[in-house]
Amino acid sequence: MFIDYDIIVVGAGHAGCEAAAAAANLGSRVLLITMDMNKIAQMSCNPAMGGIAKGQIIREIDAIGGYSGIVSDKSTIQFRMLNRSKGPAMWSPRSQNDRMLFSQYWREILEATPNVDFWQDMVKELVLDKGKVCGVITGMGQKIGCKAVILTSGTFLNGIIHIGTKQFGGGRIGEKSSTGITEQLVSLGFESGRMKTGTPPRVDGRSLNYDKMERQDGDENPGRFSYSSLTTPVSNQRCCWITYTNEAVHEVLRTGFDESPMYAGRIQGLGPRYCPSIEDKINRFAERERHQIFVEPEGWSTVEIYVNGFSTSLPDHVQIKALRLIPGFEDAKIFRPGYAIEYDYFPPTQLKLTLETHLIENLFFAGQINGTTGYEEAACQGLIAGINAHGKLAGKEDFVLKRSEAYIGVLIDDLVNKGTDEPYRMFTSRAEYRIMLRQDNADIRLTEKGYRLGLASKLRMHAVEEKEKQTADIVTYFKKTSVIPTDINPLLAELSTAPIPQNYKLDAILSRPQVDMANLKRLPQVNEFLQGFKEDAVLQAEVLMKYEGYLEKEKQMVDKMNRLEEIRIKDGFDYNTVKSISLEAREKLIKQRPVTLGQAARISGISPADISVLLVHLGR
Amino acid sequence: MSAYLHSDLHDTICALATPAGTGAIGVIRVSGNKALEIVNALFKGKDLCKQPSHTVHFGKISDGSRVIDEVLASVFIAPTSYTGDDTVELSCHGSPYIQQQILQLLVQQGCRLAKPGEFTLRAFLNKKLDLSQAEAVADLIASDSAESHKMAMQQMRGGFSEQIKHMREQLVNFASLIELELDFSEEDVEFAKREELIVLVSKIAGVIQNLLQSFNYGNAIKNGIPTVIAGKPNAGKSTLLNALINEERAIVSDIAGTTRDTIEEAFVMDGITFRLIDTAGIRQQAADEIEEIGIERAYEKLQKASIIMYVFDATVTSPEQLNQDISSLKKYQAIVIPVANKADMLANAPAFVETSIAISAKNNTGIDLLRQRLVTAVRKDEIKNDIIITNLRHYEALKHAADALQQVLNGIGAHVSGELLALDIRKALFHLAEITGEVTTDDLLANIFSKFCIGK
């Protein structure tokens, strides 16, 4: 009853959807298997996309030719550019989204992709042939053949939900968990572990008193994620609200500690430190009298509210009692309580940089199964796995992004080389080249790669070329055009920066921290010149000129680093012939099989001396 | 932050190629694509960049204001050199002091100190050696890295490692604060004020600066403690020098002003090398121009002294006079040891002599006591800097860290955004890490998570 597929994608969350779409668009015949067709691309946690470091990832996905940016834009109910007060490298787009619309748009996109078929079922076993995956067996007993499998199991593998002392199996509340895969993979030699995450209660917006909260609006001129012409910025926006917990709330929460699955030791998995439950916050930071709560609407028309900042797995009666002591929540009714969920993951050091497993050929992992958290982190892994699964079958080169090219590269490189003990979330500080990896230049960095793959359209490629050309023109103008003191000094005085004694080039003025492009546009000559240039090219030029020195420093670091990146380690290199490296280094290298010396240098436990020794052996 | 700098293959490296210590000559090897350019900048003689390969040239190495040494520079142009890269070998005089000075100048010009085996590593990579030779190099690198940390720890005196550790903690805290406001600006946490950051960075930069300054002194310990014998003419300074080294080195006479120039001699006591510097006696009215120059030099030497032995004639010096002379020496950064010479000629030693070391240079009495006193001065760390660095590699790392911190301060002053400050802080941390071990972004994040309530 099934054709022989090229690729089966197991799971239709953010990773699964991107993987299926990418592989199908590249020409593979794809079957997307999900346990519930109505839950495609669920926002299981907060109804928002992007944010600091994550917004950059969405723009990277978009530049390569994935859909997360487009779907986010189409379902946006509020848009904000975070970190506006910092330098452009820190600007991070974030949207609040309509949860149901988000899911709906993703389903529409996948249904409109000719090479994607669907099947609603649970995958409980992989079919293998000589160390290669060649199909799956489903809960209903269907055996479906394929050449590659991408596992994106999210929180579903042996998922256990905890609310107070209650615990039950499930992948999300109200949904069954998935079983069988972990056990099979472990029997094949995989190492697995447990992770934990949590989510807050959802409440009825009609029962809240917003007069007691602070209002948080979206940007006056909202932006969007996608570089394409397929979306437009949101015109109307919904606002969010901010309120705070207090000592009385904390007091009530403490009464539930005895029944907390975390403190009673019923949860073994490690949770994320940067996304603690409210009980963790008041426990670890007892001196804090209050904690911020973001009250976020779940969509345009629904009354459902997401209580961001109140993630908890305390008993439901404690949750509601504490919640009602928060200003504005006095009469709150809840739709469903918060809960903690534990699930299986596979330490990602068992993967290649393509996200294929070392142990089983053509088996790829993406998303939370690799120990990450977050929609964006999952989606970009799905995209990379989809591209590489197709590439592997089609005999193409591996698609691997470098740390200096994309946050996606940083993420996968970190996962594969260092592994992770707690759910891995992206931060800008994880990227050593974050001045280069900006949300404003993801298209310049990556569209060409997407275009060469066949994912990004010609139209997008042309747009990038035009942007680069315009940027170069603006930079040239600024570098060769002088400004005279009488024209600029009043402006400089206004901006509290020193006047110029003689003619200065425009780029020298712009490089002053107090001066930005908007200021300089007040000079008629500049304003006139910039007419006809696109806004994103103007911004690009501004960034390049203002941060020239720092960008140069980063480039030098990249150059140094790349020397090691360019030294490849042959597949099957026998580390046992290298006597001088430490035992720990040898074990790790044999297990993780780095492709380059640069990658080897980032594996924890590998010392610079080990790298020097390897260098000698790889010397020719 | 990873190992990328450790294995840089393309910069220019330098090191002493002959065994460390005093010998007739020492050879410093400089190799890399800027070797000629760098040496040329210090070399007074022919333009080395224009010389053919395998030629030797006489010249002087100068720091711009003074000549360090006269050397022979052997030029080898790539690929016909030991390493396969452009190489200059400087044959200089065999004093550890001179060698250190030249290496320091090379580093200032952009050289990096070579790691053990690195010349050979490059030779291998440039296909100058076969695999078995290269394996020997690999073993050398591996054994060195295990040993070098231990060595480094042993080399550190006083609280150096403690101080670096403390500084690193503070820097990590500072870096965390900056990262906090970048990655968690949406969180309900308070961010550090820039003024506080300036105070913190300045403090750390100050500590590093002190350590850098101590380097010269650190070298002094390694290459000998500059110990100046000062005093009025005819107090017996030269006699004392001869007594301390057990040799008739200085010309001794009863004529005041016999010693015209400074005389240097080393002697070792309990493993510590003292560089004894005998100076012309200091008096207002020099007999002639030559003596006057000698007196000027004596003052110069006092500036650089770690210990000053102030020799006075116990038979003719009044307590007031002595007090006055001693306090005039207080302005030098050195320990002053009053030495009462000709003490045997006094029937009853007056009280003020007892606070001094009483000797008779002529009759060789009290000399052992004086030697002991010198050793205690060093051992008890009476010398100003209680923490000193003696390792040029540490010096280099601290120098880079100091430069990066200066960039941070400049950045704060110019109100640049946090991510730009972070770039330079990371650089500073990276260089400190060369001494103390790596700091990863995971360390920064862990610090943030432990100190701030993060997470919606």
Q: Is B296 on the interface with A (CB under 8 A)?
A: no
Flag whether pLDDT at B148 surpasses 50. Answer: no
Q: Which of these, A439, A437, A389, A450, lies nearest to A411 by C-alpha position?
A: A437
Inform me whether the pLDDT recorded for B127 exceeds 80: no
- Bridge partners for A167 per DSSP: A162
pLDDT at B426: 86
Whether the per-residue pLDDT at B383 is higher than 60: the answer is no
- Nearest residue of chain B to residue A310 (CA atoms): B456
Do the Cβ atoms of A225 and A440 come closer than 8 Å? Answer: no
Is B101 or A252 the better-scoring residue by pLDDT? A252
The per-residue pLDDT of chain B, averaged, comes to: 77
Interface of B with A in 113-132 (CB under 8 A): 115, 121, 124-125, 127
For residue B146, pLDDT beyond 70 = no
Task: Kindly tell me the burial class for residue A328, based on how many C-beta atoms sit within 10 Å of its own C-beta (0-12, 13-18, 19 or more).
Answer: buried
How far is it, in rounded angstroms, from Cα A218 to Cα A238? Answer: 8
State the architecture of B3-129 in CATH terms: 2-Layer Sandwich (3.30)
CATH match of B221-379 with 3.90.1150.10:
no
pLDDT top residue among B444 and A66: A66
**Best CA proximity match to A302, nearest among A69, A47, A79, A109:** A47
Residue A98: the pLDDT is 98
Instruction: Provide the pairing of β-strand A202-204 with A334-336.
Output: antiparallel
Please check whether the domain covering B137-214+388-437 is classified as CATH 1.20.120.430.
yes
The residues with which A49 forms a beta bridge, in sequence order, are A95
Residue A620, pLDDT above cutoff 60: no
> What is the least distance, in Å, from the CA of A390 to any CA of chain B?
33
Q: Which residues of B touch A85 (CB under 8 A)?
A: 185
Percent of chain A with pLDDT over 70: 100
* Candidate from A210-224, A297-311, A580-594, B291-305 with smallest mean pLDDT: B291-305
Give B50 or B396, the one with higher predicted confidence: B50
* Residues A6 and A28 sit within 8 Å (Cβ to Cβ): yes
At residue A366, the 3 state secondary structure works out as: coil
Weakest-pLDDT range from A515-524, B99-108, B280-289 = B280-289
Look at residue B284 and give its three-state secondary structure: coil
- Taken in order B57, B61, B67, B68, is the CA torsion positive or negative? negative
Q: How far is CA A440 from CA A220, A381, A544, B253, in A?
A: 19, 21, 11, 83
Using CB atoms and an 8 Å cut-off, which of residues 155-184 of chain B contact chain A? 179, 181-184
Per-residue pLDDT band for A292 (boundaries 50, 70, 90) equals very high
pLDDT (0 to 100) of residue A597:
87
Cβ neighbours, 10 Å, residue A221:
8
Geometric angle at alpha carbon B210, from B205 and B212, rounded to 5°: 90
The pLDDT value given to residue B427: 87
Q: What is the pLDDT of residue B257?
A: 60
**What is the rounded CA–CA span in Å between residue A394 and residue A387?**
10
Q: Which residues of B touch A598 (CB under 8 A)?
A: 4
Q: Which residues of A touch B8 (CB under 8 A)?
A: 560, 563
Give whole-number Cα distances, A493 to A510, A512, B337, B417, in Å.
Answer: 14, 13, 60, 21
With a CB cutoff of 8 Å and minimum separation 6, the contacts of B320 are none
B445 in contact with A at a CB cutoff of 8 Å?
Answer: yes
pLDDT score at A406: 98
- Chosen from A426, A556, A580 to mutate, greatest number of chain B CBs within 10 A: A580
> Measured between CB atoms, does B299 come within 8 Å of chain A?
no
Residue range B412-431, pLDDT digits in tens = 988 888 899 999 988 888 88
Mean pLDDT of A278-284: 89
Give the number of A-B residue pairs with CB atoms closer than 8 Å.
169
The torsion of the CA quartet A424, A428, A429, A431, rounded to 10 degrees, works out to 90
Contact B1 A432 (CB under 8 A): yes
The answer to whether residues A92 and A52 touch, using CB atoms and an 8 Å cutoff, is yes
| B285 band by pLDDT with thresholds 50, 70 and 90 | low
pLDDT of residue B157: 42
Q: In this complex, is the C-beta atom of B414 within 8 Å of any C-beta atom belonging to chain A? A: yes
Angle in degrees, CA B126, B131, B134, rounded to 5? 70
Q: Are A96 and A77 in contact (CB under 8 A)?
A: yes
Residue A241 contacts residue A215 (beta carbons within 8 Å): yes
Res. B104 pLDDT band, cuts 50 70 90:
confident
pLDDT for res A408: 98
Structure token digits, residue A375: 């929609």
Nearest to B444 among A292, A429, A609 (CB): A429
Alpha carbon separation from A166 to A160, A312, A314, A316, A517 (Å, rounded): 10, 13, 10, 10, 58
Identify which of A11-15, B129-133, B189-193, B199-203 has the greatest average pLDDT. Answer: A11-15
Please state which of the ranges A193-207, A464-478, A547-561, B245-259 shows the lowest mean pLDDT: B245-259
Angstrom distance (rounded) from CA A197 to CA A47: 16
Residue B440 confidence (pLDDT): 65
CB A413, CB A63: distance < 8 Å: no
| Better-predicted residue by pLDDT, A584 or B409 | B409
Q: How confident is the model at residue B259 (pLDDT cuts 50, 70, 90)?
A: low
B52-63: pLDDT as tens digits: 999 999 999 988
Residue boundaries of the structural domains of chain B: 3-129, 137-214+388-437, 221-379
**pLDDT of amino acid B254:** 62
Residue B249's pLDDT band, with cuts at 50, 70 and 90, is low
* Lowest-pLDDT range of A71-75, B53-57, B127-131, B359-363: B127-131
CB A97 within 8 A of CB A44: no
Is 90 exceeded by the pLDDT of residue A428? yes
Determine the pLDDT at residue B107: 85
- Asked if the model's pLDDT at residue A139 lies above 90, the reply is yes
Give the pair of three-digit tokens for residue B441.
Answer: 């972004």
The pLDDT value given to residue B454: 62
Q: Is residue B38 very low, low, confident or very high in pLDDT (cuts 50, 70, 90)?
A: very high
Among the partner residues B144, B188, B445, nearest to A292 by beta-carbon distance = B188
pLDDT tens-digit map of B180-227: 888 888 877 777 788 888 988 998 888 888 777 766 555 655 667 788
Residue B150 pLDDT > 50, yes or no?
A: no
The reported pLDDT for the residue numbered B1 is 35
- Nearest by CB to residue B415, choosing from A83, A514, A550, is A514
Interface test with B, best of A425, A429, A438, A440 (most B CBs within 10 A): A429
Report the gap between the CA of B146 and the closest CA in chain A (Å): 9
Fold identical between B137-214+388-437 and B221-379?
no
Please give the residue of chain A at the shortest CA–CA distance from B179.
A429
Residues with Cβ within 8 Å of residue A84, at least 6 apart in sequence: A91
**Are A192 and A269 spatial neighbours (Cβ–Cβ below 8 Å)?**
no
What's the alpha-carbon Rg for chain A, to the nearest Å? 26
Identify the band that residue B6 occupies on the pLDDT scale cut at 50, 70 and 90: very low
Across chain A, mean pLDDT equals 94
Residues of A in contact with B456 (CB under 8 A): 46, 275, 292, 294, 308-309
Picking from A48-57, A209-218, A555-564, B344-353, which range would have the lowest pLDDT averaged per residue? B344-353
- Give the count of beta carbons closer than 10 Å to the beta carbon of residue B105: 20
CA nearest neighbour of A409 among A360, A374, A449, A451 = A449
Q: Read off the tokens for A170.
A: 């499930």
Parallel, antiparallel, or unpaired for β A339-345 and A193-199?
antiparallel
Residue type, B91: S
Q: Check whether A21 has a pLDDT greater than 90.
A: yes
Distance between A309 CA and the closest CA of chain B, angstroms? 4
Question: What is the number of helices (H) and of strands (E) in chain B?
Answer: 14, 13
pLDDT of residue B407: 92
Across B295-324, average pLDDT: 83
* Three-class secondary structure of residue A374 per DSSP: coil
Query: ipTM of the assembly?
Result: 0.85
The conformation of residue A53, written as its DSSP 8-state character, comes to: T
Q: Pick A559 or A608 by higher pLDDT.
A: A559
Query: How crowded is residue B315: how many other Cβ atoms within 10 Å of its Cβ?
Result: 12
Kindly report the backbone phi and psi dihedral angles of residue A167, in degrees, each rounded to the nearest multiple of 5, phi listed first: -145, 140
pLDDT at B88: 95
| pLDDT tens, residue by residue, A147-202 | 999 999 999 999 999 999 999 999 998 899 999 999 999 999 999 999 999 999 99
Average pLDDT of the residues in B354-364: 81
- Asked whether the predicted pLDDT for residue B147 surpasses 50, the reply is no
**In this model, does residue B32 exceed pLDDT 70?**
yes
Cβ atoms < 10 Å from Cβ of A433:
22
- B372: confidence class by pLDDT, cuts 50, 70, 90: confident
Q: What is the pLDDT of residue B2?
A: 36
Q: What spatial distance separates the first Cα and last Cα of chain B, rounded to whole Å?
A: 29
The answer on pLDDT for B241 being more than 90 is no
B412 touching A (Cβ < 8 Å)? no
Q: Kindly list the residues from chain B whose CB atom is less than 8 angstroms away from the CB atom of residue A550.
A: 420, 423
- Lowest mean pLDDT across A474-488, B29-43, B87-101, B145-159: B145-159
List Cβ<8 Å contacts ≥24 apart for B356-365.
Answer: B356/B312, B356/B314, B356/B322, B358/B314, B359/B240, B359/B243, B361/B236, B361/B239, B361/B240, B361/B242, B361/B243, B361/B311, B362/B236, B362/B239, B364/B243
> In the predicted model, what is the mean pLDDT of residues A322-333?
97
Q: What is the pLDDT of residue B158?
A: 45
For A220-253, what is each residue's pLDDT tens digit?
A: 999 999 999 999 999 999 999 999 999 999 999 9
Q: Is the pLDDT of residue A30 over 60?
A: yes
Spatial separation of the C-alpha atoms in residues B410 and B412, rounded to whole Å: 6
Percent of chain A whose pLDDT exceeds 90: 81
CA–CA distance, B245 with A427 (Å, rounded to integer): 65
Better-predicted residue by pLDDT, B251 or B308: B308
For chain A, first and last CA: distance in Å?
54
Token pair 């990773």 is at which residue?
Answer: A15
